[in-house]
Every structure is written in structure tokens, then in C-alpha cells.
Amino acid sequence: MKVLVAVKRVVDYNVKVRVKADNSGVDLANVKMSMNPFCEIAVEEAVRLKEKGVASEIVVVSVGPTTAQEQLRTALALGADRAILVEAADELNSLAVAKALKAIVDKEQPQLVILGKQAIDSDNNQTGQMLAALTGFAQGTFASKVEVAGDKLNVTREIDGGLQTVALNLPAIVTTDLRLNEPRYASLPNIMKAKKKPLETVTPDALGVSLASTTKTIKVEAPAARSAGIKVKSVAELVEKLKNEAKVI
């Protein structure tokens, strides 16, 4: 089966972001950018499905700026066969991204689409579910295990109370949680090979997709800072403080 994987270029998870002085957003100048960690897990899962002989072709797609080609090349180095960049401005809302992905799904007709459950910049956790709505596909979100069983996909999901398993008709949408797999690193020969793999660029206009939004960001502020308290010298002192000062026990 053909597998489509969507990836997003985001601030590296190790970077502590700072809010811009004019409160228009966070400062992304000269900040290290990477593939969203949940998207790395999505790519890895597709590669494993290919290694098992379940997936025949992996197409990786990103909706974002020209520079997102870096993340697409990373995915190609990890084992994706070809890449598509839907070139668009930064800061798209999830619905706009889902609409662009829907257009790619219509064109590519994958049996399975794997996405990260959320991007660590906007923390929205929406795109996969929205793509499922727009395509009419079943969804297995927050997946910790994915198994193809005949014409069904069994997805084990991490839910608040524990784990839940659902059986989905194909084609289906899966969004990854942290424990689905541990992504590999790209080897140097594979990074070199990835440079020769096809990477196609399209515009939302060419796909006939509107990126209009019903939401606007008015301002972005730093959160209320929490100041460090005191160090206590002993457990006895800690208990005394919790009882008499904080009055929480």
C-alpha cells in the first residue's frame, strides 16, 4: 500500500523560545529548526511498514516555507521514497494545512496517512483529525501501536485512562504518540542518496486550496514567571514548611 506521511518544520525541541518585545510572536531568528518530533515518529513508522513489506511506497509531504525542504530531505534520508512541498507562508492554521493535505491525498490516493499528533510549536493537536474529517477516513489518533490486519488497521491509542484499541477501515489516518517507536538516525550514505530522490514543489493555488482562516493571533506574551523558592536543608524542614507556611498538608 502507498503511505503518505506529513511532516512539519518547527523550532528544535531543545530550544527555549523567547517572546518578541513587540508581542507579535516568538523570536525565530537564528533559532535551530528541526522536524517536529512526532513527525519523526510518523516517518519511522512508515519506514518500518515498508521494511515489513506492508508499505510499497512512502510519500512525504510538508506544507510550509521553502526551508521545509530540509525536513523533507531528512525524511527522504530516513527512508521515504519521494517528497512534496506545498509551499506556503509560515504560521498556517491546522485547517489550512489539512485542506492542502486533502488535495495531496486526492492526487496520491494513499491507503494510509500518518501524521504526528501535535506540533510542538502551536501545540494544536488538530491536523490529523481535520484531514480525517475532510477525506471522510477513519482516524486512529495518539497511536502507540499500528497493525495492518487484512483490510483493517488495528490502532492502539494512548487515552487518558490507559490504552484503547480500534479497528479502522482503510484508507485511514493515524496520528503518532511518543511510544509508537523510537526513530532511527539517518546514515551518511542515506543522506547522500536522499539528495537525488525526487522533491516536487507545488503551490496551494495550483492545488485549488484556500488557506483562509477564521482565527487571528492578537498578541503573544511570555507566561507569568514562576520564581524559584527556597532550598530546605532536611525533610523535617520541608514538612514544617508545607504544614505551617504553605499550609498544603
- Scan residues 34-73 and list those touching other proteins (CB under 8 A): 38
Kindly tell me which of 73 and 99 has the beta carbon lying closer to other proteins.
99
Report, in Å, the least distance between residue 132 CB and other proteins: 6
Q: Tell me the C-alpha distance between 98 and 126, whole Å.
A: 9
- Cα–Cα distances (Å) from 152 to 4, 30, 159, 160, 195, in that order, read 17, 45, 21, 25, 35
Q: Tell me the C-alpha distance between 127 and 98, whole Å.
A: 6
Kindly tell me which of 56 and 213 has the beta carbon lying closer to other proteins.
213
Q: Single out the residue of 53, 162, 189, 208 in contact with other proteins (rule: CB under 8 A).
A: 162
Coil, helix or strand at residue 113 = strand
Report, in Å, the least distance between residue 31 CB and other proteins: 11
Q: Single out the residue of 89, 159, 192, 206 in contact with other proteins (rule: CB under 8 A).
A: 159
> What contacts 81, CB < 8 A, 6 or more positions away?
57, 58, 59, 197
Kindly tell me which of 6 and 138 has the beta carbon lying closer to other proteins.
138
Reported as type and span, the H/E element at residue 122 is none
- Cα–Cα distances (Å) from 216 to 39, 89, 97, 232, in that order, read 25, 15, 16, 46
Number of residues that bind other proteins (CB under 8 A): 79
Kindly tell me which of 83 and 105 has the beta carbon lying closer to other proteins.
105
Report, in Å, the least distance between residue 227 CB and other proteins: 9
Kindly tell me which of 77 and 174 has the beta carbon lying closer to other proteins.
174
Site for other proteins contains 16 (CB under 8 A) = yes
Report, in Å, the least distance between residue 63 CB and other proteins: 15
Kindly tell me which of 73 and 142 has the beta carbon lying closer to other proteins.
142
Q: Say if CB 4 and CB 110 are below 8 A apart.
A: yes
Kindly tell me which of 74 and 141 has the beta carbon lying closer to other proteins.
141
Q: Which of residues 169-228 bind other proteins (CB under 8 A)?
A: 169, 177-179, 213-223, 226, 228
Report, in Å, the least distance between residue 192 CB and other proteins: 31
Site for other proteins contains 88 (CB under 8 A) = no
The closest alpha carbon to 214, from 130, 93, 126, belongs to 93
Q: Say if CB 21 and CB 72 are below 8 A apart.
A: no
Q: Compute the half-sphere exposure of residue 121: CA atoms within 13 Å on the CB side of its CA.
A: 23
- Binding track, positions 114-153, relative to other proteins; x by CB under 8 A: ---xx-xxxxxxxxxxxxxxx-xxxx-xx-x---------
